[in-house]
Chains A and B, each alone.
Chain A
Amino acid sequence: MQVRNIRVALVGNPNSGKSTVFNQLTGLNQKIANFPGVTVEKRSGFCQIGKAGEPGHTVAEIIDLPGTYSLYPKTLEEQVPFQVLCDPSNPSHPDVVIIVADGTNLKRSLFLCSQIVDLKIPSILVVNMMDQVRKRSITIDFDKLSHGLGIKVIPMNALGGEGVMELKKALAIELPVPATDFIDASGIAPEVVGAIRQQVRLNSSYAAFQVANNLEAIGYFKSHTHKLEKIRAALKENDFDPSRMQAVETLERYKEITELLRDITFTPAAGQEGYYRGFTKRIDNILLHKVWGYLIFLVVMFLLFQAVFAWAAYPMELVDTAFAWISGMVHDLLPKGILNDLLVEGVLAGLGGVVIFIPQIALLFMFIAILEDTGYMTRVSFMMDKMLRRFGLNGRSVIPLISGVACAVPAIMSTRTIKSWKERLITIFVTPLMSCSARLPVYTLLIALVVPQHNYGGFINQQGLVLMALYLIGFVAALGSALVLKWIIRSRERDYFIMEIPVYRMPRWKNIGLAIFEKIRIFVFDAGKVIVAISVVLWVLSSTGPGDSFRKVNTALQENEQLDKTEVNKLMAEKLRLSYAGVIGRAMEPAIAPLGFDWKIGIALITSFAAREVFVGTMSTIYSVGSTEANTATVREKMMAEINPDTGLPRYNLAVGWSLMLFYAFAMQCMSTLAVVRRETGSWKWPLFQFAFMGVLAYISSFLVYRFLS
């Protein structure tokens, strides 16, 4: 018996329970990627129906399309369902479409459903949330509904598993193409529909009507420009106005749907008032309250911050210890030499740098998934919108910005909840300006170095004030940059804030678990590759060098077993000075001298690209403290004693200290962030622009503060 392979697309309104249906069909057998060309998440998986070798054995590839109210694309996300369903040449074009409808709001769900019926793709309508339908005593005549639409209809309560078997059974049988048109699209614009069907082979008049409305979005025409020209001419000749046509279609569909539903579904008066009036409304009275609303929001944000900042610290330490142990093992087991060093200091260090992020990502996404799933995230957006839209940000940008104080990597991954591409891009762009926890060791070292201990009024510590100022500067820079980017980034999307506020519900733990698991997988396998690669490059730069002098130092280090600690530390410092990183650092000196930096700082700038806190380790190597027992106090003493040969005064004065702190506050000194931005924006264009933007900002501010203070 041959296995039957089909491709199935899942579509539905937002909040229709589509993802639960998807999880029911695919179980753990799913993966997340991006749709080609856009950074819209593509979830897909496989569903086995029947047994191998038996008749009816079907393997269905299920593709979960982003939630939408219609086929008309308004946002980047909504463009995907349109392109996949309306363009038969699209690589994801399905054999069967499953439309998931919210049974308590059939009318609106049927709008999208009727559009798909008219595309003449074999379809199944799933009427989900049957538990709510029964609770509110809503009656639905499924036979009549199926007859009226011309497709199979299955009642379902996906959360409880009801109807899932029926859906699988339906998929195992070849489905017919819907026989009747729901509305007559050729009646709305007969000439245009005719002209298009002459140029391209399409299954239905409605597909042609859709083509007329969204010419630019169809990939097929990129390689068939002569056809595009002919269609454009036909549209012009007939004065085809897409928004007027869409309005005509929408009204006609709703008229038909109202007519159809009249004797199919009945909602008793008590149920009409809606679920919203009861439970959800009472909660919203508190959660959207002028005082309590913000107070509770503050508490939620505080918990989230605690989770990524403090709770994550324990598992992170565990990862750190584990990798130190593995590195030690590998180092001792393998023969000494370059391969050993590459493996331990390059590859393993890079891997450790990837794995260390997992606890933060897991915790942050647990929080976000719960907030999203319960419906609270939409309320956050609703409450914060007025304040944040001035900066080109979304209410949902609050989460990435706050998480950014712990770490920009999970924070940037969390911007996926922002639907508008422009607002999401701006959020990604400014999040790394928030002072993350990796900056803290750098700040602490430098503050201790240049800011004297002084108490104002006995309890306000001057060093603490400076640290707070640095966090504030990061926040102000983030908002300021957002304002600037709002004008720079052009977008064809018009940003509406028209969205549904869903009713509150319990989080679906299985969905949340899957979401966390997938986020970690994407980070490790996608951004992880880049991080390990850059880590190896940085290792090569700092542990190899040109010429004889480097080789001599290196051999001296490796062959003399009986060197004492001070001698080893001295040789290590010398090795770093002579390495490629050292060469670049010294070559960089003229460029960074205006900021008050010398070549030693130059080297640290290069090595700390791995992560900002590496600055401290590099400084201890340069000052022969020994990077293994990097002791901040000793490094500080050595740095304090450093004399600037030009002035004869200490190198690390207030001006250099501030210049360096501002540089670390603003510059994109983090390869992991760059790797994650590349993954989230789908190209190197944005991370490189971001790198340049933050670099220029850092350079100018450091230059100014150095001039001003010296």
Chain B
Amino acid sequence: MSEQSTRLSGVEVGQSCVIEAFTDDEMKLKLLEMGCLPGETVVIDRLAPMGDPMAIQVAGSIISIRMHEAFNVIVRPLS
């Protein structure tokens, strides 16, 4: 984990980042099987109108994920 690592839930819309790790083992499996692997690039596509959940672009598709779920995804923002 590098110094700029942050949680996916805190990333701005439009920002690209790389998945580094997961802090919830059960949820990790769900994301892994959908192709959200460590090393994959994630772009925050948008937030739902009420601010939660968020839509992320990853592994060739758009996936919706709740904020508290995204909190358990550790990412490294790309500049």
Contacts and interface: CB of A to CB of B under 8 A. Distances in A.
Interface of A: 69-70, 72, 74, 104-105, 107-108, 111, 243-244, 246-247, 250-251, 254, 274, 276, 281, 284, 288-290, 293-294, 378, 381-383, 385-387, 494, 496-501
Interface string B14-48: 00000000000111111111110100000001101
B50 A387 contact: yes
Contact of B32 (A250, A381, A496): A250
Instruction: Name, among A250, A498, A499, the residue most crowded by chain B CB atoms within 10 Å (CB to CB).
Output: A498
Given A288-B49, A500-B34, A105 B61 contact: yes
Given A274-B57, A386-B51, A499-B63, A247 B28 contact: yes
Nearest to A496: B30
Contact of A498 (B30, B45, B60): B30
A363 B61 CA distance: 32
Given A108-B60, A243-B25, A244-B25, A498 B51 contact: no
A61 B14 CA distance: 48
Contact of A294 (B49, B57, B62, B65): B49
Contacts of B25: 243-244, 247
B63 A243 contact: no
A74 B30 contact: yes
A288 B64 CA distance: 13
Contact of B64 (A74, A250, A498): A498
B58 to A, nearest CB: 10
B67 to A, nearest CB: 9
Interface residues of B, number: 31
B35 A254 contact: yes
Contacts of A105: 35, 59-61
A290 B49 CA distance: 5
Contacts of A386: 48, 50-53
B48 A108 contact: no
A281 B14 CA distance: 13
A104 B61 CA distance: 10
Given A288-B49, A290-B49, A276 B63 contact: no
B55 interface: yes
A278 to B, nearest CB: 13
Contact of B48 (A70, A250, A385): A385
Given A251-B37, A254-B37, A386-B53, A498 B31 contact: yes
Q: Is the interface of B mostly helix, strand, loop or mixed?
A: mixed
Given A108-B60, A383-B49, A497 B65 contact: yes
Instruction: Name, among B26, B29, B31, B52, the residue most crowded by chain A CB atoms within 10 Å (CB to CB).
Output: B29
A288 B48 contact: yes
B49 A501 contact: no
Nearest to A107: B35
Given A108-B59, A281-B45, A496-B66, 19 more contacts: A74-B30, A105-B60, A107-B60, A111-B33, A244-B25, A250-B29, A251-B37, A254-B37, A288-B49, A290-B49, A381-B64, A383-B48, A383-B50, A386-B51, A494-B26, A496-B27, A497-B69, A501-B55, A501-B64
Contacts of B31: 498
Contacts of B62: 276, 500-501
Contacts of B66: 385, 496-497
A383 B65 CA distance: 12
Contacts of A289: 49
Contacts of A70: 33
Contacts of B45: 281
B50 A500 contact: no
Nearest to B70: A498
A397 B57 CA distance: 26
A386 B49 CA distance: 10
A497 B72 CA distance: 14
A111 B48 CA distance: 29
B59 A107 contact: yes
B33 A72 contact: yes
A290 B28 CA distance: 31
Contact of A276 (B28, B35, B57): B57
Contacts of A497: 53, 64-66, 69
Contacts of B59: 105, 107-108
A284 B46 CA distance: 10
A69 B34 CA distance: 6
B63 A498 contact: yes
A385 B46 CA distance: 15
Nearest to B29: A246
B66 to A, nearest CB: 5
A382 B53 contact: yes
A429 to B, nearest CB: 23
A497 B69 CA distance: 8
A70 B61 CA distance: 17
B64 A499 contact: yes
B38 to A, nearest CB: 8
Nearest to B28: A247
Contact of B34 (A284, A293, A494, A498): A498
Contacts of A74: 29-30
29 contacts: A69-B34, A74-B30, A104-B60, A105-B59, A107-B35, A108-B34, A108-B59, A243-B26, A244-B25, A247-B25, A250-B32, A251-B32, A251-B37, A274-B61, A276-B57, A276-B61, A288-B49, A289-B49, A294-B49, A386-B52, A494-B26, A496-B69, A497-B64, A498-B27, A498-B31, A498-B34, A499-B63, A500-B63, A501-B63
A501 B55 CA distance: 8
A31 B4 CA distance: 55
Contacts of A281: 45
A250 B40 CA distance: 14
A362 to B, nearest CB: 31
Nearest to A242: B29
Instruction: Name, among B48, B55, B57, the residue most crowded by chain A CB atoms within 10 Å (CB to CB).
Output: B48
A617 to B, nearest CB: 46
Contacts of A250: 29, 32-33
A424 to B, nearest CB: 18
Contacts of A288: 46, 48-49
A293 B33 CA distance: 31
Contacts of A494: 26-27
Nearest to B25: A243
A246 B61 CA distance: 23
A274 B46 CA distance: 16
Given A69-B34, A72-B33, A499-B64, A293 B49 contact: yes
B26 to A, nearest CB: 6
A247 B26 CA distance: 9
Nearest to B46: A288
A243 B57 contact: no
B33 to A, nearest CB: 4
Contacts of B50: 383, 386-387
A382 B63 CA distance: 10
